[in-house]
Structure formats: structure tokens, C-alpha cells
Amino acid sequence: MKDKGAKHTLIERDFSYKLTESHNDNNNRTGPAAQRRSKLYLHLKKWLEKAILDYGMIAEGDRVLVGVSGGADSFALLDLLNSPMIFVPKFSVMAVHIDLGFAGGEGDVDLIEDELKKIDSEYVIEKTEIGPLAHSEFNRKNPCFLCSRLRRKRIFEIAEAKGCNRIAFAHHRDDIIETLLINLFYGREISTMKPDQSIFKGALHIIRPLSYLREGLVKKYAGERGFNVVANRCPTSRTSKRIYIKELLHSLEKENRQIRHNIWTAMHHVKTDYLL
Ligand code: SF4
């Protein structure tokens, strides 16, 4: 499907003043993130670093573009990656926010920009009309497919333009579990999001440093840090399959609290001999 209808307005405001060496070195940061040492912060950092090391997500000198939606998870990821690492080698971070152009979200870009400044990160913000385009008459049946395709395409292009070889998304453990069920129930396949996914013959990697972390803890951390989270303006987000699966898991957990843990563990014990 062609994406000619998507209009993009790059509002990379005063980018140069955000590009300083001190903001660019994850082992030499002195901003608010570097001074924070709550128990929750230390716990999340430990598991974030473990996931990065286990999957070899980041190597010395990598430049990581962090996708920021304006939600709690993405602010938390950016904040954690923008703080000093203990074991992960030196890398640099910048954030990207793709504004989808939904009605009611006119002031969101300013709020997100304020948070990015508070987190002390380099950033690019781009205004688009991807959201309304994905929900237009010709595409009513599956807005998510076109929306995520166009958004990713722009993020890949920005990564290339900015010399980033890693794109970090804020998908956590619960997202990975839910995606497995979505793909199984609706996609007719057994698959999920990988913590480290190589694309374009290895020129770019999509990484998910929150892979080991539960959603509740990530959200709790975002609350602890007081991030100004913006509302999800997408009309489809309230009726998506993900919401249904989330609620299904929630109800199953009332009888067996180990459900999510069991699904997570099962992904590490795939017996292909017992599949068709
Ligand atoms: S839920 Fe909305 S914002 Fe998310 S991918 Fe679907 S259309 Fe896009």
C-alpha cells in the first residue's frame, strides 16, 4: 500500500542546542536521571541491563533512537537508557516522537517536548497525519496495519538520517506475552516480538530493553518520576485486540496468578517435535 497520502512536518526544533557531548554519553550523565537512586529505579536498571546484555542489544559506540509515544512506558525507557550504565558499554541516545495527528491532541507535542527536555535527551519530533489517514474511509477495516507501517517507516528513515543503528521500543514483558496470544488467536501463527530483531541485513536492530520488566513496575516507575503522560488519542486503541487479550489474561489470572509467568516460560521451552 502506498503512503503518499501521509503528510509529514518535521519540527526538529533548535536541534543543535540539544546536541551536547554530556547528553550524549550514557556513562557520563549528570542530569536528574543520574542522581536518582530509588529501590525501584535500581531494580529496573538491573533487569534492563541484564536484558541488554543477554541479547547483546547494544555494543560500544552504538547510537540508539528511542521511540517515544508520550505514554508512561516510553518515557520510562528513555529515562532509564539516559542514565548511567554499570555493565552496558558506552552508547548514545536520542528520542523520536511521531505525532500521529489525531483530533484532540493538538497540545500533546508541547507536553512531550517538555518531558524530553526534563529527561535531558536529544530528540526529534515529527508531526504527521498518519492517524487520520489510517482511519480514512478506504482503510476502515485495519487501521493498525497501515498506521504502524507508516510510523515505523518514518522512524527507520529518521534513524538513518541521524546515524542511529539501534531503534529501542518500550515493549515490556506483558506486551511480548500479549503479542504471542494475538498472533496465535488472530494471526494464525506462533510468534511474538523479539527482544533484539535484526533488520535490513543487520544494518539496523530493533531492540526492546524492557523485555524482562512487568508493565506494572514500568508504570509505577513512570509515576515515581512524575512523567506528564499524554492521553492516547487513537479511537482504535480503546477497542483493539490487545485490550481484549489484556482483559482476558487479567480474568485468567484471578484463578491462576502464574498465567503470565507460565506463558513467558513456555516461550523458552518450545518443543517443535510436538508441533505439526
Ligand atoms: S491502536 Fe491506533 S495508534 Fe495504535 S497502531 Fe492502531 S491505529 Fe495506530
Indicate which CATH number applies to the domain containing 230: 3.40.50.620
Strand order in the sheet with 8-10: 8-10, 122-128, 92-99, 63-67, 166-168, 204-207, 196-199
pTM to 2 decimal places? 0.87
- Residue 102 CA, closest ligand 1 atom number: 3
Kindly give the distance from the C-alpha atom of residue 16 to the centroid of ligand 1, in angstroms, as a whole number.
31
Which region among 36-40, 50-54, 120-124 has the lowest average model confidence (pLDDT)?
36-40
Q: What is the pLDDT of residue 115?
A: 95
Q: State the residue range of the domain holding 235.
A: 8-274
pLDDT of 130 over the 80 cut: yes
Q: What is the pLDDT of residue 62?
A: 98
Q: Which amino acid is at 108?
A: D
Cβ atoms 63, 121 nearer than 8 A: no
User: In terms of pLDDT, which residue wins out, 2 or 191?
Assistant: 191
Q: What is the pLDDT of residue 141?
A: 81
Query: Is residue 143 lining ligand 1, measured as CB closer than 6 Å?
Result: yes
Half-sphere exposure of 37 (CA within 13 A, CB side): 2
Backbone angles phi, psi at 125, to 5 degrees: -120, 135
Q: Considering its fold, how many domains does the chain have in total?
A: 1
Q: What is the pLDDT of residue 35?
A: 57
Which region among 132-146, 148-162, 205-219 has the lowest average model confidence (pLDDT)?
132-146
pLDDT of 5 over the 80 cut: no
Mean pLDDT across 3-18: 41
Q: What is the pLDDT of residue 14?
A: 33
Query: Domain for residue 253, yes or no?
Result: yes
Query: Domain for residue 75, yes or no?
Result: yes
- Average pLDDT of every residue of the chain: 88
Mean pLDDT across 85-96: 95
Query: Is residue 134 lining ligand 1, measured as CB closer than 6 Å?
Result: yes
- Residue 130 CA, closest ligand 1 atom number: 8
Cα dihedral: 66, 67, 69, 74 (round 10): -40
Cβ atoms 131, 234 nearer than 8 A: yes
Q: What percent of the chain has pLDDT over 70?
A: 87
User: Using H for helix, E for strand and C for coil, what is the string for 49-112?
Assistant: HHHHHHCCCCCCCCEEEEECCCCHHHHHHHHHHCCCCCCCCCCEEEEEEEECCCCCCCCHHHHH
Query: Is residue 139 lining ligand 1, measured as CB closer than 6 Å?
Result: no
CA–CA distance, 211 with 208 (Å, rounded to integer) = 6
Cβ atoms 87, 190 nearer than 8 A: no
Q: What is the pLDDT of residue 237?
A: 86
Query: Is residue 98 lining ligand 1, measured as CB closer than 6 Å?
Result: no
Mean pLDDT across 119-133: 94
Segment holding 199, helix H or strand E: strand 196-199
Query: Domain for residue 1, yes or no?
Result: no
Q: Whose CA is nearest to atom 3 of ligand 1?
A: 234
Query: Domain for residue 3, yes or no?
Result: no
Query: Is residue 242 lining ligand 1, measured as CB closer than 6 Å?
Result: no
Query: Is residue 67 lining ligand 1, measured as CB closer than 6 Å?
Result: no
* DSSP helix/strand/coil, 165: coil
Q: What is the pLDDT of residue 32?
A: 55
Query: Domain for residue 56, yes or no?
Result: yes
The helix-helix angle for 72-81 and 215-225 (nearest 10°) equals 80
CA–CA distance, 200 with 202 (Å, rounded to integer) = 5
User: In terms of pLDDT, which residue wins out, 145 or 4?
Assistant: 145
The residue to mutate among 73, 175, 179, 240, having the most atoms of ligand 1 within 8 angstroms of its beta carbon, is: 240
Query: Domain for residue 225, yes or no?
Result: yes
Kindly give the distance from the C-alpha atom of residue 239 to the centroid of ligand 1, in angstroms, as a whole number.
10
As to burial, measured by CB atoms within 10 angstroms (0-12 exposed, 13-18 middle, 19+ buried), residue 139 is middle
pLDDT of 8 over the 70 cut: no
Which region among 84-88, 103-107, 148-152 has the lowest average model confidence (pLDDT)?
103-107
Query: Is residue 148 lining ligand 1, measured as CB closer than 6 Å?
Result: yes
